[in-house]
Structure 1
């Protein structure tokens, strides 16, 4: 009889355990901020990727939390090895990705991060997959993300912090601006979750202050950070990047044959070079540059550490044509963009080198569009947008109080920074937004120096006309 009464109790207990387990599994699923969507490629045994392919080189990831947090969860789950290209006071990372894509015949793809349910797009991240010498893809991300300021900065920290190799393109910045630009990255590297094994800084200008600041960064964080020599051509960027990646792969692999590792191979380089030679030969019948080395004396350029190409399929040596100085058809790194307003560029450049100046932007007060920028972060879009909002509010207050509607000339002090807003001299309709480091800048001295720069700008326009 006892056993007969115990049996229903056991059945109830088993049913309760089953329900609890089912609910627990459902509960775990509801806590996941993102979801990995199965695809035919996954069934074929290919590596899982973030988000779901929706065509035209776009992947979508739906999230229930902030984009950076969701992206970090996916990286922690999948543990991919990738390269991240970041800008410090410049905007070359997306241009570099575009050049790499063109050189390797691989499209620039996008990861669209959307809010689950509403489908609102929160961020767009660009990346390129490059086939290595062993046939496996190596992914390159750019931290120049299409998102609001907070999300863009948070996603950049996740991308750089979770990458195997971080490439930082550094503009020519004075020591104080460089220290300010590196400060948030020092804090990020000290937080949990930072896994970047190697940070390589590539200066686009002379960068005299860069080695000392990187030394301070390395001592404070124990991150393997170093600087290359100044890079001025795409081939130099590719060579330094490839060498750093290959060194990391050698350190992380026990395979004695380096060509068996996932290195950045030479196939794409040679293919792009052959295409460049064919295009040049069709456009220019001249045989070679004056003084070029004979074809047999100069081997084709390759990424350091890559597998050698077969002799019978090697294209003609690069030095035999005028395209030998650019084996990859990437945009020139570090060169100034074509400008129709050289005096304004010189003015902003000189302004950014004043002691205490972190970032400076000239913008159109009507459209809110950035016209010129120099310095580090905040970038031109942020300075232009917020500068326009501040000027609109100040001008509105001035009109309401009957004080006129001229462009305000003002300074705003925060805890660690000063903001300067003023009309641009000799530029009707333009205004200037400057960020100063409060600890290094003397506000009165900077204003006096700016007045001298104003005079030099006006003299520059007189000389041009």
Structure 2
């Protein structure tokens, strides 16, 4: 009946809202109005309108879950899917439109309407991105229009079976940030969740949000990434998102995080403005690397830091992205080292910006912060610009002066 944004939905013609036992069915379509005609918009442009209106009863979110449980049961072989969560509604729609305009692929929209009132419950939109020598990407976004827990669960249902979920954080109050993080924490703890990567795209200098993200307890199998960049256009949002995707696209679903190709920067962001206007594969260009550090050297630096008393974890970190090139942590006291390293990268950028605003020419060599029972010590690598050594210490057991000396020795060894 419907070949929709969810893939090839099974036919539900004849489904009655009441099951054989009188219970409400999870989802039923009573009418379908489809339009794919070419129209002329107010600017005189030809627009290929791919839109479907679906009148439903029951829970659309549960229907999505049931469908994905069949069509996307194995994410290793399923079509690559990225879901955008944009609580403030600033960038997601613009990103999908920019990709559609650049590739010539249409935006498919599914309007879920309530039976009886015909009010719009949510609008789900998708576009498809073909990339040369890469798997096809489907980009989803759900704009919830009606209140209620069932409707609020629609984006979560899309996120559960995605390969990556990108949370675009705009201008939000601290209470709204807390509510969003609590909802996400509850979502990733559900048995239906299979998405291996959760990316938070934060505005500049939003260290306080990164710290909040780090405070929450996330499942060990979930790869949580924090990106702090200026989101000034749809292309900048997409390029930043795609840069992360190129790093995590091979992460297994719900398996212990494997160390990806962290020692190199492969297939980095495409420029939306440079995409071809026809339905042709997108060419991915690789930028020049900012630093050249052999993986063995990064491993040696980590090994040199392992002898620090009270050490909880240590890493060699790319200051530009917050990614770890090499890392080690204690098995008896597990910590989310990647989040801590990403937060320290944002702290470093804030210090560098402050130094520039004060007219200071000297480069930052070392930063130390304390929070609760931990010390965070960051030391720049002088011979490899853009890298720093990071140590996470137990405040009660660590000798801070000796730890700083050990970090200096490790840095000199590079």
TM superposition score normalised by structure 1: 0.42
Higher helix share goes to which structure?
Answer: 1
Higher strand share goes to which structure?
Answer: 2
TM superposition score normalised by structure 2: 0.46
Pair member with larger Rg: 1
